[in-house]
Structure 1
């Protein structure tokens, strides 16, 4: 089981000017449909359909996460389209849809998630160690640190979406 250590920020605006200036280099753009199958006590089980917006390639994943806060255990592996579709049909849930732009800024890989069903944009940075994450000084353009604010977690946002 791998360790996921990440900080999340409430991105106030899409950094188009940084991209245009070449300061933020876009690596990939994906559309992600994310559906939770089970959520309980810091554990979550989810599936994703990931479409590469440049190549059109579609992949599917199944992920288990355990833990709360900025450091969690994570297992993720690929699944077939058939398995994904069967699980989605059984779940009968509305997927959380987001566009993920992955880029490099100042030598740091950032993931920008723009949620299509909500007015919400989040920037994430993953780290190799807890010490590295805790000592990270985010630039102002990242926005407010929401790493510990549960109302912005994907599973909380997804749960709210199911109520609509």
Structure 2
């Protein structure tokens, strides 16, 4: 399956008032190779294993395969993951016909807030709420796999 998404920084916290759901996510990476990442995620009590392929040149699309796994399996696999785990709260916000996933990062990535919107095509129009900031689609330093190696708290902003 090919995933098409755009990624943005977030200007403020007003999206929280519009959220219809939030979930706690902990994830780690068995592989952060840009050619293929392998992620283990625990979202509330649901585990998943995801394999993502290399991003297109503009960063808009890439292959993604995901399979649900048990919580005990996810916990065991998280222990095998590379050092820094990603800890975040994801807020879901519906804006017209699109759902934005806004990740508020904790621990080593505290202070970083990223919004993603999945699209049906690379040229699809979508609403841009006032809290949506600078686009960072294709900027590899904002990929979760890279945030696990170079966390936000060590960046020289």
TM-score scaled by length of structure 1: 0.81
How many residues of Structure 1 are paired with residues of Structure 2 in the alignment?
148
> Counterpart in 2 of 1:5?
4
- Picking from 120, 125, 128, the partner of 1:128 is 120
> Counterpart in 2 of 1:59?
46
Consecutive aligned runs of 4 or more in structure 1 exceeding 4 Å deviation? none
Structure with the larger helix share? 1
Q: Which stretches in structure 1 are left out of the alignment for 5+ residues? A: 52-57
Alpha-carbon distance, 1:141 to partner: 2.6
Asked whether 1:91 is paired with 2:91, we answer no
Alpha-carbon distance, 1:140 to partner: 4.5
Instruction: State the SS of the aligned residue for 1:130.
Output: coil
Question: RMSD of the TM alignment (CA)?
Answer: 2.1
How far apart in 2 are the matches of 1:143 and 1:106? 18
Contact 2:98 2:126 in 1 (8 A): no
Instruction: State the SS of the aligned residue for 1:143.
Output: strand
Please tell me whether Structure 1 or Structure 2 has the larger radius of gyration of its CA atoms. Answer: 1
How far apart in 2 are the matches of 1:113 and 1:120? 8
> Counterpart in 1 of 2:28?
35
- The alpha-carbon distance between structure 1 residues 4 and 78, as it changes in their structure 2 partners (threshold 3 A), is same
Alpha-carbon distance, 1:59 to partner: 0.4
Alpha-carbon distance, 1:61 to partner: 0.4
Alpha-carbon distance, 1:43 to partner: 1.3
How far apart in 2 are the matches of 1:46 and 1:140? 31
TM-score scaled by length of structure 2: 0.84
How far apart in 2 are the matches of 1:78 and 1:139? 32
- The alpha-carbon distance between structure 1 residues 44 and 11, as it changes in their structure 2 partners (threshold 3 A), is same
- Picking from 133, 139, 142, the partner of 1:149 is 139
How far apart in 2 are the matches of 1:92 and 1:9? 26
